[in-house]
Structure 1
Amino acid sequence: MSAVADGSPVEVETLIAGGGVGGLTAALALARAGRPVRLLERALEFTEIGFGIQLGPNATRALDGLGVLDELLPLAVQPRELLYMDALSGERITSIDLGDAFVARYGHPYVVVHRSDLQRKLLGACVREPLVTIETGRELVAFEEDADGVTVRCADGASYRAQALIAADGLNSRVRGTIARGEPRAEGFVAYRGTIPIADMTPRAEADAMVMWVAPDTHMVQYKVRGGALYNQVAVFRSRRFDAGDPDWGSPEELDEHYQAFCEPVRVAASQLGRKHRYPMADRDPIATWTTARVALLGDAAHPMLPVLAQGGCQAIEDGIALPVAFAGAADVPAALSAYERRRAPRAGRVQSSARRFAEVCHIGGVGVELRNALFGQHDPQDYTVLDWLYDDAEVRA
C-alpha cells in the first residue's frame, strides 16, 4: 500500500531508499532493535547479480551478529590465502594467510560469496522480520525535510511521511546532493566482471586462494564462489581512450588490447570474461557531513570507494549495524543521526582514502613495479598488524 484513502502520504517511522546490501542490512538491524522500517527498492524485483563480493571479518562479524552468517556460509568459500601476483611476469609477489591464524586473530573468517547469495539471505531475513516492510518498483525522485520529518515522493506517485530517511541509493544518490556537493571522481578505470563454471577456470588459477594480479594501470581478482561451483573474475584497467575523450572508452575491444600485454594465465582469464556489461569505476573524496536532522546517507551514497581493499560492501554493512546503536543512545532522530555520523564518517573516510592510496600502489608503473614487489615480498604472510585497524576496529566491535 502506498497511499491512504485521502491521498495523504503513508506514515512510516524509518524509510530506507535502496535495497542493496547496505539498505537491507540497515533494515534488518533497525528492526531487530525494535524500530519499524519501510524499505523502497526502485527495481521491480530483486534479481540475480552476476558477480562476487568479498567479506572481511569486520563484515562477517556484523552478519554473525544479525544471525545471517550461518545461513550464508554453506554458499560461501573461505580462501586459504590472498595471493598477490605480478601480471607481467606471472611471478608470485606475496601473500596473506587467511587460515586459522587469521580467524584466531579477528574472531571471524574472511569469506567470498556470490553477491546474489548475500542479498538473498539478507532479503529473506528482512521478509521474516515483522517490523520490515519492503516495496519494489519504488524509485525516490524527491523529498522535502522539515523540523518534524521528511516527505518522500516516488516516480510512480507514491508518497511517504517518515521520521527519518536513510539514503542507501548508491554512487549517484538523489539524496546526497542536498548534503554534499561534487561529482564522482573518474580517472578512466573500467571493470569487466562475471563468473564461470569452476571446470572452465584458467589453468594457472589457484583454486583455494583468492588471487589478485597487479600491473601498471591494471588489476585482476579471481576467487571461487557459490560453495566452489563458480569462479568469479574481475578485470580492471585504465582506458587510454578515456584520456583522448573517446565516448566509447573502456570497450571490450580495448579490454582485449590492454590484456594482451600480460602473462598467459591473465590473458586467458581476460578472454573468458563476458563482454555484455562494463562497469566504469569512480569514487569520491571523503566527507565529514553525512546527515541533516532527518536524513542520513549510507553505503556508496556516503562513501563510494575504489574496490582494491574489497571494503565497499563491508563498509555499507558496518553503516547498517551502526544505525540501531545510534538510535539506542539518542533522545530523538536528529541526535541519533548525528551520533551515527560521528561514529561512521571518520572510519569510512579512512577506508576510502586508504583504498585510493592502495590502488596507486597496485597500479604503479615503471621502476615502481620492482620497488613494490621487493617491498611486498618481505611481508610475513601471518603478520596482520597493518590490517588490525581495518578488521578489528574498536568502534566496529562496540
Structure 2
Amino acid sequence: MSGLPVLIAGGGIGGLATAVALARKGIASIALERNPAFDEIGAGIQLGPNALAVLDLIGAGGRVRERLIPVGYLEIRDALEGRRLIRLDLRGAFRERFAAGYGVIHRGDLLKALYETCLASDRILLVPSAEIADWEEHPDGVEARGADGRRWNGRCLIAADGLHSRFRQRIVGDGDPIPSGHATFRCLIPPERMPEHCRVDGAVLWAGPDCHLVHYPLKDREVYNAVITVNDGSTDIARGEPVPDADVRRLFDRVGDQARAFLDAGTGWRRWTLRDREPADTWVKGRAALLGDAAHPMLQYAAQGACTAIEDAAVLADRLADDADPGAALDRYAAERRDRTARVQRLSRWLATEVYHPSAASAKRRDAMLLGLDEERLLDHLTWLYTPFGGTA
C-alpha cells in the first residue's frame, strides 16, 4: 500500500471524523481546512445511536461523551394547542435496542472532541488556512494545489467540503444545491429565561402549519438550544446572519401560547436557509471521492446530517484499509453508502412535509398517525435509521 497520506479537503465534522477513522486503521492523513481555525458556527446537534456507536468504534467516543448530554426523551407537540402527539423514551426499551444511546451536543464541542482526538494521533496532520483551488491525478496518487500556491501529495483525495462543495462540480456536475424554501433561526437561551414548561430533560419539537420549533438543553444544561424553522419560500443563501428578535417573532405569529412562550424567550437569533440535493449516483472520480454533505446534503429534519457523515468516515477507512488500490476502495465505499444516505435524504424531506409542517386536514392525518404509534412500533420504524450503517456493514 502506498505510503502517501490521504488528503482530506475540509476540517469540519465529516473531515475530522475521517482523519480519526483512518488513523485507527493505521492510515496517515492531512486535513486541509480553508478557515484559519478548526471550529464550527451554529449551536446544537443531535447524535443518534448510529453516530455514537461509530464514534466509539473509531476511538472518538470517549471525548465526545465527556461533552454529550444524554437527554431523556424525544417529543413532538402540536404548536397550536400544545397537545403532546408522541413521546419516545430514550432510556428503557430504546437503550436496550440501541445500546449506544442518544444525546445532544454543541456543534463546537463535537468538533473540538474530534480535533483533540486528531491531535493525539501522530498519523494526522491538521493544516488550517489551506484552501484547495484544484487537484490533479497522477498514476501513483493525487496532487492538491492550494490557493496560496502550496501543494500536497496523497494517495487519494476526500472532499468533505460541505453543501457548496467545489469538488462536487467536477465529480457530479449537478449545479447549485436546491433551495427548500425554508429558513432556520437559532439561538441559545439561558434557563432563567425559558418558560417552566420548556425547562425539560428532552428534545421537544413543536409542529405547526408551515413551521416548527425545537428546544433541548446544552452545555451541561447551562443553556437551551433553540431552533425554529419556517417555510417562507426563502431562496437566498444565509449562513448565520443576525436577525432582529421582533422579525423572528412575526414569522411565527401563527403558533399557540405555549410554543410562543418559548419563542419569546429567545434573543440574538441567527438565520440560515436550508438546501439539499437529489441523491447522486456518482460520488467518485478516479482517486477523488465525496463525503458527508458534499456527497449527500440533506435537510435537518431527520437530525442525521452529521451522523451519516460520521458513518461515511468509518466505511471509507475500512475500504481504504482493505484494498491497496485507492480507486477501487473509493468505488466500494460509495457503493456501500449511496442507498442508505439517499434513503435518509428522502426521509428528511418527508418529515418536513408530512410531520413537521402540515396544516388543516394534513395535520389531522399526521396527528392520527403519531397518536396511533406505540413504543414498540415506533422503535421498529427507527431501527433501520439508528442501526449503524443501516445494519448492512
> TM class, shorter-chain normalised?
over 0.9
TM-score w.r.t. structure 1 length? 0.91
| 3-state SS, counterpart of residue 180 of structure 2 | coil
- Is 1:170 the counterpart of 2:162? The answer is yes
Q: Is contact 1:78–1:111 with CA below 8 Å preserved after alignment?
A: yes
Whether contact under 8 Å (1:58, 1:396) holds in the other structure is no
Return the match for 1:389 from 369, 384, 389. 384
Aligned-pair distance for 1:250?
11
- Residue matched to 1:374: 368
* 1:209-256 Cα distance to aligned partner (Å, 9 max, x none): 11011112111111111221221110110125x48x999x99655532
3-state secondary structure, aligned to 1:228: coil
Q: Which residue does the alignment assign to 2:270? A: 277
2:203 counterpart residue number: 210
Q: Which amino acid aligns with 1:316?
A: A
Deviates more, 1:43-52 or 1:382-391: 43-52
CA distances 1:128-159 after superposition (whole Å, capped 9, x unpaired): 10000001011112222344322212222211
Range 17-26 or range 223-232, more displaced: 223-232
The residue that corresponds to 1:365 in the other structure is 359
**Structure-2 change in CA distance of 1:306 and 1:343 (3 Å):** same
- For 1:363, the aligned partner's letter is H
Give the Cα separation in 1 of the matches to 2:391 and 2:321. 16
- Contact 1:39/1:132 (<8 A) preserved: yes
Q: Which 4+ stretches in 1 moved above 4 angstroms?
A: 249-254, 393-397
* Equivalent position to 2:43, from 40, 44, 51: 51
Q: Which amino acid aligns with 1:229?
A: E
2:230 is matched with 237
Residue 164 and residue 349 in structure 1: after superposition, are their counterparts in 2 closer, same or farther (change >3 A)?
same
Q: 1:394 to 1:284 in 2, by over 3 A?
A: closer
Q: Hey, what's the Cα distance between the residues in 1 that align with 2:183 and 2:136? A: 35
Cα contact 2:186–2:269 (8 A) shared by 1: no
Where do 1:1-398 residues align within 5 Å? 12-47=4-39, 49-180=41-172, 181-240=174-233, 242=234, 252=244, 254-275=247-268, 277-361=270-354, 362-383=356-377, 384-392=379-387, 398=393
1:202 maps to a residue whose letter is P
* Distance in 2 of aligned mates of 1:171 and 1:303: 8
Q: Once the 2 structures are TM-superposed, how far is the Cα of residue 278 of structure 1 from its aligned partner?
A: 1.0
| Contact 1:26-1:317 at 8 Å conserved across structures | yes
1:273 CA displacement: 3.4
Asked if 2 retains the 8 angstrom alpha-carbon contact of 1:185 and 1:284, the reply is yes
Contact persistence 1:21–1:122 (CA under 8 A) = yes
Indicate the RMSD between aligned Cα atoms, in angstroms.
Answer: 2.2
Alignment gaps of 5+ in structure 2? none
* Structure 1 residue runs without a partner (length 5+): 1-10
Q: Return closer, same or farther for 1:268/1:291 CA change in 2, 3 Å cut-off.
A: same
- Paired residue secondary structure (1:189): strand
Question: What is the CA deviation profile of residues 91-123 of structure 1, one whole-angstrom value per residue up to 9, with x for unaligned ones?
Answer: 111111211211110121011111111111110
Q: CA deviation at 1:78?
A: 1.3
Structure 2 residue matching 1:171: 3-state secondary structure: coil
Report the Cα distance in structure 1 between the residues aligned to 2:115 and 2:242, rounded to whole angstroms: 33
CA distance in 2, matches of 1:226, 1:348: 30
What whole-Å deviation, never above 9, does each CA across 1:174-216 have from its counterpart, x for those lacking one? Answer: 1000111132111321111122222322332151111011112
> Contact 2:53/2:388 (CA < 8 Å) preserved in 1?
no
Amino acid aligned to 2:31: L
> TM-score, normalised to structure 2's length?
0.92
1:394 is displaced (CA, Å) by 6.0
Alpha-carbon distance between aligned partners in 1 of 2:218 and 2:294, rounded to the nearest angstrom:
27
Tell me which amino acid in the other structure corresponds to 2:334. E
Whole-angstrom CA distance in 1 between matches of 2:191 and 2:364 = 33
What residue number does 1:3 align with? none
**Whole-Å Cα distance in 2 between the matches of residues 339 and 38 of structure 1?**
22
1:123 counterpart SS class = helix
| More displaced 10-residue stretch of structure 1: 323-332 or 34-43 | 323-332
Partner of 1:65, secondary structure, is helix
Q: Percent identity?
A: 37
